[in-house]
Structure 1
Amino acid sequence: MQTVQAQLSFNDLLRGVEQLNSSDLKQFVSQVIAIQAQRQVPSMSRRESELLLKINRLVPYNIQKRYDELIGKRQAETLTSAEYQELLQMTEQIERLEVQRLEDLAELAKLRQTSLTELMDALGISPPQYA
């Protein structure tokens, strides 16, 4: 990811964000959400910060792209046997990441003494969409 230090107006910043590729945009949004959460709870503990970083990690772009391709082939009923096995492995991998994310969200909710639903709403996180 590129690193730039400059004083920008809000509109200049938005124009810069519009130029990011999909992978960088996802990472940027994730970091903005983390900053927003820190501002909402300025006296965040170290553990809360660690959990927020873990929660905001995304499936790497190349893996998500391949997964989406395989889902498309499955829906079109053109998936080969080898691709089906690859899809199963990727699905398990992504589900493990989602389970870990949910556990981290639950721990953070407990630390903040709030419900999981309220925490997810506050962080702007929607439940995962399944294919």
Structure 2
Amino acid sequence: MSTVKLEVHLSSEELLKAVEQLSQPDLEQFVSQVIALQAQRKASNLPQVEAELLLKINQGIPSNTQNFYDELIAKRDAETLTKEEHIELLNLSGEIEQLQAKRIEYLSELARLRGISLTALMENLGIQTQMYV
């Protein structure tokens, strides 16, 4: 697909209406890019170490990995998962858990640098905390 540069002035509401038209994969990619942009802007006003940690925290799971994982979960829930897909699901689950564990490490380090609790940091950053019982 070709792209052209076009300068348009949109309100945030108009931009949101345009974003609503994106396909799910394009929306996920757009959201990731917006989060990265937000992290970069916040990072420009922070000490270098904090900025680097925020960029790592906001990296997230690659969209193609997340999409494949979601497909495998849907197949598992529909009970149509093959043995090979089950192995792939287990491997992907492990990879995602490792990425999430690294993210928690980065969050913990940032909380330590700021002298606040991990929960307080997550609340400050707007990251939801969930308690599993």
Q: How does the TM-score come out when normalised to structure 2?
A: 0.77
Alignment of 1:1-131 (within 5 A): 8-20=10-22, 21-31=26-36, 33-34=38-39, 38=42, 43-127=45-129
Distance change >3 Å, CA 30–CA 116, structure 1 → 2: same
Distance change >3 Å, CA 86–CA 34, structure 1 → 2: same
* AA in 2 matched with 1:105: L
C-alpha RMSD of matched pairs (Å): 2.9
Contact 1:34–1:53 (Cα < 8 Å) also in 2? yes
Q: How does the TM-score come out when normalised to structure 1?
A: 0.78
Q: How many residues were matched structurally?
A: 126
Instruction: Quote how far apart the aligned CAs of 1:18 are.
Output: 3.5
CA-to-aligned-CA distance 1:81-116 (integer Å, 9 cap, x gap): 100100011011101100000000000000111111
Q: Percent identity?
A: 45
Instruction: Quote how far apart the aligned CAs of 1:30 are.
Output: 1.5
Higher relative contact order by CA 8 Å / sep ≥ 6: 1 or 2? 1
Give unpaired runs (5+ residues) of structure 1: none
Mapped to 2, the partners of 1:35 and 1:114 lie a distance apart of 22
